[in-house]
Chains A and B, each alone.
Chain A
């Protein structure tokens, strides 16, 4: 590389490698908090939004008081069971504005029961009326599930070690694992899906809590021209045993509990930014002060103000960029590893796309570098107009 202001700037940074390191590290920590926080907030919001959009139903009808459970089962990876009577299906169907309905029953395999996959989420669905699983099923095997057949959700397939097995025991019954669904971004990803023709046998052969003629949840589509909220209210009024969740409200409970976490992140980031700006300001003030003489010499041998500014700006940018890169790597690493530790993150199934990660990274880069620039600005302006060293004395 030929010699340039860039080389001078780098050498200046190297000279004070400890101080340079401290600044890089503190910018790095700030940016890592930023990247981790943004990844966290974004992945939770995005996955909940995606999941509710993909469910493909306008209204969910659930047993009274089970709305939170339902959201957790549908949008997250949790296994929860809650039941209501099957007869409610007909009553919902008869309400004005309802176009079609289907239902699902949620089961959890019992831990410790011989040969079963422990604590797996099993979704029994009705194949004649289903419009929720159908599109995914069609892509996966192109036909309906037969009795004693199961299909695994994208993540369940890996998590339950189904990779090499062709059959598995659920509720004391052998099931053929006939395939695996594509990633849906919903709670289906962590479930094993079976046809509800199996329900009678399951109830008779295992100790599950569900009774015959019980279901967990009803999905409905609303006729065109009807307001889903209006129809939902009608359902709740006429059937007191149920609660209704509209699609656009889905996930609201989960998101609102996240608001506090959001705010904690925000405050941390603001404080860390202020601290880093202050640190950058202090360090650059010191840098500039101790370099008066050198800058004076540079000016005396012909440097323009712009050369001096360029040199310092390069130093600032290199610091900012290195710090930000450290932060991006650290923050991304944290968000990838901590997502396995925090249940909240683990339960939200969607992971961020590369583009989303890149966007967050760029944002971190911008803030990290911006803070360095803002912190250094006054010092750079101060030294830009410095008189050339008159060489009259050795200061």
Chain B
């Protein structure tokens, strides 16, 4: 049994009688600790696929198994638990809560998980340090640059010690130097803790570090 298994997963959007096949008949097996990169043109379905794996988007058809459990047959609360405990999601777009400081944004997911609250304060400070934002601990998102916000979102994804990190263009708005630092950090976590790492990126540079590379075109995947 692989950690994540997708069987003929499709997502079809209907917009005024036009069907958009964002993800089409994708079958995929991902082992624990793998580093997978997904590349593809804009609109090819990368984010859609990642959302389906992350438990935040019901597929139109097909099954998604996590450690053998069909996650979309779970009830609402169990699916929430899956998102809170197993997945660390780095969204493509800004996803920090504007009322919360950097540190509080990091603490937010720990509220949703029963047993991740211990030492969470210290952990938040540690992770902020690791993404190079120690001095911004009490800053609000509006006081941070896009790249800084992105790094906080990355640190947040790690707070609940997830088993899988889903990163949707995580270094999109970072300069080359910071991008390299952040990627090193993520790769280290992948290596040291055996966390599965699925990275959506436009950069073939970043993609080539992956242990497995996938290309998406019009909702379909091709392994490279």
B120 CB → nearest A CB, Å? 8
Interface residue stretch chosen among A213-221, A256-264, A384-392? A384-392
Q: Is A304 an interface residue (CB 8 A)?
A: yes
A303 CB → nearest B CB, Å? 5
Q: Is A8 an interface residue (CB 8 A)?
A: yes
Given contacts A4-B111, A11-B99, contact A302 B83 (CB under 8 A): yes
- Give the complex CA separation of A4 and B107 in angstroms: 9
Give the nearest-CB partner of A297 in chain B: B95
Given contacts A8-B108, A393-B93, contact A2 B47 (CB under 8 A): no
Bits for B91-128, please: 1 = Cβ < 8 Å to A, else 0. Answer: 11111011110001001111111000000110000000
How many chain B residues have a CB neighbour from A under 8 Å? 37
A127 CB → nearest B CB, Å? 76
Q: Using a CB–CB distance below 8 Å, which chain B residues touch chain A?
A: 47-48, 51, 54, 56-57, 76-77, 80-81, 83-85, 87, 89, 91-95, 97-100, 104, 107-113, 120-121, 156, 160, 168
Contact A391 B51 (CB under 8 A): yes
Categorize the interface residue count of chain A. Answer: 20 to 34
- What 7 A-B pairs come out closest when comparing CB atoms? A302-B84, A391-B91, A302-B112, A394-B93, A388-B56, A11-B99, A304-B80
Contact B111 A390 (CB under 8 A): no
Given contacts A3-B107, A3-B111, contact A301 B93 (CB under 8 A): no
Q: Which residues of B contact A298 (CB under 8 A)?
A: 97, 108, 112
**By CB atoms of chain A within 10 A, which of B48, B81, B91 has the most?**
B91
Contact B104 A3 (CB under 8 A): yes
- Give the complex CA separation of A389 and B83 in angstroms: 12
Contact B111 A5 (CB under 8 A): yes
Give the nearest-CB partner of A303 in chain B: B112
A37 CB → nearest B CB, Å? 38
Given contacts A12-B99, A390-B51, contact A302 B109 (CB under 8 A): yes
Give the nearest-CB partner of A388 in chain B: B56
22 contacts between A and B (CB under 8 A): A3-B110, A8-B99, A8-B100, A11-B104, A12-B99, A15-B98, A299-B80, A300-B95, A301-B108, A302-B113, A303-B111, A303-B112, A304-B112, A305-B76, A305-B77, A305-B80, A390-B47, A391-B91, A391-B95, A392-B57, A394-B93, A394-B94
Bits for A277-311, please: 1 = Cβ < 8 Å to B, else 0. Answer: 00000000000000000100111111111110000
